[in-house]
Amino acid sequence: MAVDMKGKDVISIHDLSREEVEQVIDTAHILKMKNKLGEIYHPLQGKTLGMIFQKSSTRTRVSFEVGMWQLGGYALFLSANDMQLKRGETIADTARNLSRYLDGIMIRTFDHQDVVDLAQYGSIPVINGLTDLLHPCQVLADLFTISEKKGRLEGIKLAYIGDGNNMAHSLMFGGAKMGMHVVICSPSGFEPDPEVIRLSRLDAAKSGASINVQDDPAEAVKGADIIYTDVWTSMGMEKEYEERLKSFQRYQVNGALLEKAREDVLVMHCLPAHRGEEITDDVIDGTRSIVFDQAENRLHVQKAILALVI
């Protein structure tokens, strides 16, 4: 291994070195090949991952649970309804208790500070499965997918069209770390967090990447190798649905928008997709879409993370 990541928390890509991101991608490639060849590989025999879910999930739960099993370990599903987390017991006490039982924790929740606190007070690796601020595991899988499809990351232009949300934040951190050119295109009032922009530009200055934020989709996708989108209304924002539907009308990824990008542009979406809103059926099901390859790679990258940190 190029770098030793044993015991490391995975909370934000900004906290990882470029070498650590590369290590995750390289390990994912090896584990994917072993999986396709039917090789049994059990580096986590006898290890247990606690999976805390305060947000519902399809891909995160299935990929982590299956991944842990394929690595020889056991994944324990912990619903927020079944735990005392923040219902009389502090995050600190929960972290100290779980550290006595488990070898790692994956948490999918609303408040980013909950993940930070779990890592601070626990003595085992904590993996951020999603917060309202960041979605690092998804973007590590996205970086792996882009490297598979394009053969490189450095110099790739990725145009993200949509809400300046947790996906936009982690794409900025991931792209900045790996020398990519990331354009976040959001309507006024829905731009990414200014502190995330600032931190990602610090990383970009070291890697030769660029981070830009603008509001014109047609301009944003010019020269793009990748067009990326996400739902306009994330979990917990359902009351804003009608307002957001109006604000994002110009931000649909459709055939007309693809024509303004490179001829070999590829389309990505972290899923679930609200078809007919942020993306059209002909695009997500079309020849330029790598959405379901991207979804599969959640399994391989999360296995890499688990094998590296536990």
- What torsion, rounded to 10 degrees, do the Cα atoms 306, 106, 169, 28 define? 20
Q: Is the pLDDT of residue 18 over 90?
A: yes
Q: Which of 59, 169, 298, 300 is catalytic?
A: 298
Among this protein's residues, is 230 annotated catalytic? Answer: yes
What digits encode the pLDDT tens for the residues 131-144? 999 999 999 999 99
- The architecture CATH gives domain 13-134+298-309: 3-Layer(aba) Sandwich (3.40)
Q: Which of 14, 112, 135, 244 is catalytic?
A: 135
Among this protein's residues, is 108 annotated catalytic? Answer: yes
What digits encode the pLDDT tens for the residues 69-104? 999 999 999 987 777 676 678 899 999 999 999 999
The C-alpha atoms of residue 64 and residue 47 are separated, in whole angstroms, by 13
Per-residue exposure over 176-201, b if at least 16 CB sit within 10 Å of its own CB, e if not: bbbbbbbbbbbbeebbbbeebbebbe
Among this protein's residues, is 135 annotated catalytic? Answer: yes
What digits encode the pLDDT tens for the residues 184-194? 999 999 999 99
Q: Which of 230, 252, 288, 302 is catalytic?
A: 230
Q: Is the pLDDT of residue 106 over 70?
A: yes
Give pLDDT, residue 126.
98
8 Å CB contact between 305 and 127: yes
Among this protein's residues, is 215 annotated catalytic? Answer: no
Q: Which of 23, 54, 70, 138 is catalytic?
A: 138
What digits encode the pLDDT tens for the residues 28-64? 999 999 999 999 999 999 999 999 999 888 999 999 9
Q: Which of 14, 59, 108, 269 is catalytic?
A: 108
**Structure pTM?**
0.96
8 Å CB contact between 10 and 16: yes
Give pLDDT, residue 233.
87
What digits encode the pLDDT tens for the residues 195-246? 999 999 999 999 999 999 999 999 999 999 999 999 998 777 778 888 899 9
- The architecture CATH gives domain 138-295: 3-Layer(aba) Sandwich (3.40)
Give pLDDT, residue 84.
66
What digits encode the pLDDT tens for the residues 267-289? 999 999 999 999 999 999 999 99
* Bridge partners, 227 (sequence order): 159, 267
Q: Is the pLDDT of residue 4 over 70?
A: yes
Query: Would you kindly state where each structural domain of the chain is located, as residue ranges?
Result: 13-134+298-309, 138-295
Among this protein's residues, is 152 annotated catalytic? Answer: no
Give pLDDT, residue 83.
76
Among this protein's residues, is 275 annotated catalytic? Answer: no
